[in-house]
Structure formats: C-alpha cells, structure tokens
Amino acid sequence: MTDQAVDIQLENVTKRYSNTKQPAVRDFSMDIRAGEIVVFVGPSGCGKTTTMKMINRLIEPSSGTITIGGQDALSLDPDELRRRIGYAIQQAGLFPHLTVGQNIGMVPGLLGWPKPRIHARVEEMLDLVGMDPAEFRDRFPRQLSGGQQQRVGVARALAADPPVLLMDEPFGAVDPITRGNLQDELLSLQSELHKTIVFVTHDFDEAVKLGDRIAVLGPQSSILQFDTPEAILAAPADDTVAGFVGAGASLKQLTLLRVRDIELDEAETATIDEQPSVVRDRLVARNRKYALVLDSRRRPKRWVHLRDLNDGPLDTVGRPVNDLVTKQSTVQDALEAILTEGGSVPVVGTRGEYVGAVGIDTVMDTVRKLREEHENG
C-alpha cells in the first residue's frame, strides 16, 4: 500500500459469530474505488459495523477475501495493517489519560516516526481540523466538547496519512448543528486528501450528504442497492429502500446542491484590531450596513451593524457569529443557518478562514430556479 488512494475489494465475505446460527454478514461482495466515499447505511443490527471491521480485521472473516490496494489483507500482520488504515468511531474513543497531542501522535509513534516529525504532524493535523494547536494540543479529552473530541478523533485517524479511512457512525453522538459542521469539514478534508473512505451510518440524510456512492444494506448485510445518492433518490430499487429513503425524497434534492454550486456574496469585512471609526467610514462609503469581523487568522468572529460602531473595540460590539458553512455544505444547511443567523451566513475554507457569504436573496433565487427546472423537466 502506498500513500496514494487505494481501492478495496470484498469478495464473498461471510462472518459467522460462534454463538449464533445465522451469519451476521452473508456473502458480501463490493468493489470500492480509490478516492471515493462509500457509505453503508441500514437499520441497526444489519451488520454494517461487522462488515467494516472485517476490512481492518478487528473482526476476522469466517470466509471470503479482502483486497486493499491489490494486497490480500488477510495475509498481512493485523497490527501493521491497521496502522495503514485510519479508524474513527462514535464517541471518538480518545485515550482519556493522554493529551490531544499524544492522542493524535499515537499512530506516527507506533510507526516509529522521529519526535520532531510527530510534533510537526500533530500541529498540522490540528490545523487541518480547525483547532488552534497552541490552545488544544496539551488539553485532555475531557476538557473538549463532543464536537471537538470527534475532530480530534478524525485527526488521530488521519495522522499517519493512511490511504484508507474507516468511520463507524463517527458523528452519531453529537448535536445536529455540530454534526452538520463536522460533515462539512469531512467533505472539505476529502476534497484535499482524496482518501478511500468507508463510512457507516444509520442516518440516510447523512449518507446522501457524504456519499459518492451509498450502499443500502438489509439483514445480514445484504446489499439492497449500491449507487450514487442521486440515483437512489430518483429510483429506489425496491419498497424497502424506498421506505428507508423516506417520503421527502424530492425535497431532499435540495440537499444535493452545494454552496460551491451557487455564487457567493462578498461581505464587507474588518479585522478585529481595526479602529471602529475606520470601519464605519468604509461602510458608509460603500453604502453597507453590516461588517463581518475576522480574527488574525481571518476566521469570522462577529457581525457588527453600522450603529454599533461607536460603542467600543470591534471584539466587544455587535453579535458573535454562531453558524458557518463551507463550500461543501448543502444549500439546505446554508438556508437553515441564514434563518438562525439572520440575513447572511459566512462561508469558510478548510482552516476556518473567510471565503465569502451566502445571502438570503441568493438562496431564494436558487430555490426559484430549481422549482422552474423541476416544473419544466
């Protein structure tokens, strides 16, 4: 295996637990292409976790073959194999007695990287998942929010730059807003990293948002349908899949449209240490009412209205930015954010830096266009 993305083949893989009559996974075959996100979605207990864990041999298949990047996975040393496959799970599974830095540096350490390289890598990974290394590297997991723990879990999984990433309901235990943000971040990461990702969830909306292809699984991990989200939404293979897809399938088309597909607005920006009077003059000159205040790393922090600009320094006036979207976010996410943020929501890049904004007008235009297309087509 190299650090290039690799493909994965499962052929006639079966898992029979010793204490059960029926196999948990029966005769599962699938080709996963290099660099794609395949989502396993299906009801609880259908065998998603068992299927995924056979790829990194946390569970040994009873029969069948698994090939990763052309190599027979069952012929490799399991510990060595796992160090080359990123693994992120629900509740993150961070080591509570180790710091964030030590958690992220664990796999590079196991691989025998020299200390300075590990140190630099930890910094890079924290940056990548949008956490300030200076602030977070020496914290312990219990000093993080649920969403931050999941970010560290993803950073730990990616630290040794594995070509394959396995994720088992990694965002299942966080609140919906944080989950949406984490999904966006995963997609921006993937647009840079091009890993081969197998992602397990029981949430079909999550599958639609993240998957290049979705495998809808039934009992004993039987593949009911394996196709792109668009194809599954448009033509569910059978009644079971249709039921799982849900009644609102046509509305879900909205969630297929990404922020990157629509034109971004330019917000009027200011940096946090600027003089309020300077910002005020600029707003007046350009005939704008709001400025978006960015911190020293160009991350959006506050919205300030023209009339707030007499009351003190920029980091105290106005109201904090509570919700952000990325270019990978769905237009649906952007709309929801606008409805809570009011007017407009900032769009940020992979490191949380400002790249534009989406206004309510743009979203309404998009909705109108979509509806026209739908009626004409």
Partner 1 sequence: MPLWTYVTARWQALLMDSYLHASAVVQATVLAALIGVGLGVAVYRSPLGSAVATALTSAILTIPSFALLGLLIPVLGLGVPPTMVALVLYALLPIVRNTVVGLNGVDRSVVDAARGIGMSRLRVLTGVELRLAWPAILAGMRVSTQLLMGIAAIAAYVKGPGLGNLIFSGLSRVGSVNAVELALVGTVGVIVIALLLDGAYVLVGRLTTSRGIRD
Ligand X SMILES: Nc1ncnc2c1ncn2[C@@H]1O[C@H](COP(=O)(O)OP(=O)(O)O)[C@@H](O)[C@H]1O
Residues of this chain that bind ligand X (CB under 6 A): 17, 19-20, 24, 44-50
Residue nearest to ligand X (CB): 49
Is 94 a binding residue for partner 1 by CB under 8 A? The answer is: yes
Write out the H or E segment, with its range, that includes residue 168.
strand 164-168
Q: Residue 140's binding partner, choosing from ligand X, Mg ion, partner 1, none, with beta-carbon cut-off 5 to 8 A by kind? A: partner 1
- The nearer residue to Mg ion, 169 or 336, going by C-beta atoms, is 169
Q: Which of 91, 178, 222, 253 binds partner 1 (CB under 8 A)?
A: 91
Name which of residues 164 to 183 contact partner 1 (CB under 8 A).
166
Question: How many contiguous H segments (helices) and E segments (strands) does the chain have?
Answer: 15, 17
Q: Quick one: which of 286, 257, 229, 250 has its CA closest to 365?
A: 257
Give 356's strand partners: 347
Q: Which of 15, 83, 202, 252 binds partner 1 (CB under 8 A)?
A: 83
Q: Up-side HSE of residue 339: CA atoms within 13 Å toward CB? A: 8
Is 142 a binding residue for partner 1 by CB under 8 A? The answer is: yes
Q: Quick one: which of 254, 268, 264 has its CA closest to 331?
A: 254
Contact 347, 326 (CB under 8 A): yes
Contact 332, 254 (CB under 8 A): yes
Residue in the block written with tokens 């200011």? 270
- The nearer residue to ligand X, 104 or 166, going by C-beta atoms, is 166
Residues counted in the chain: 377
State the nearest-atom distance from the C-beta of 112 to ligand X, in Å: 32
State the nearest-atom distance from the C-beta of 259 to partner 1, in Å: 32
Give 119's strand partners: none
Is 251 a binding residue for partner 1 by CB under 8 A? The answer is: no
Is 113 a binding residue for partner 1 by CB under 8 A? The answer is: no
Is 156 a binding residue for partner 1 by CB under 8 A? The answer is: yes
- The nearer residue to Mg ion, 89 or 94, going by C-beta atoms, is 89
- The nearer residue to Mg ion, 49 or 362, going by C-beta atoms, is 49
Q: Report H helices in 20-145.
A: 48-55, 78-83, 100-104, 106-110, 115-128, 133-136
Residue in the block written with tokens 């997609």? 187
Q: How far apart are CA 215 and CA 208, in angstroms?
A: 11
- The nearer residue to ligand X, 18 or 287, going by C-beta atoms, is 18
CA distances from 362 to 28, 265, 332, 341, 350 (A): 45, 8, 12, 15, 23
Q: Residue 373's binding partner, choosing from Mg ion, ligand X, partner 1, none, with beta-carbon cut-off 5 to 8 A by kind? A: none
Q: Which of 79, 192, 263, 375 binds partner 1 (CB under 8 A)?
A: 79
Of 45-53, 264-272, 348-356, 369-377: span binding Mg ion (CB under 5 A): 45-53
Q: Which of 6, 8, 24, 49 binds Mg ion (CB under 5 A)?
A: 49
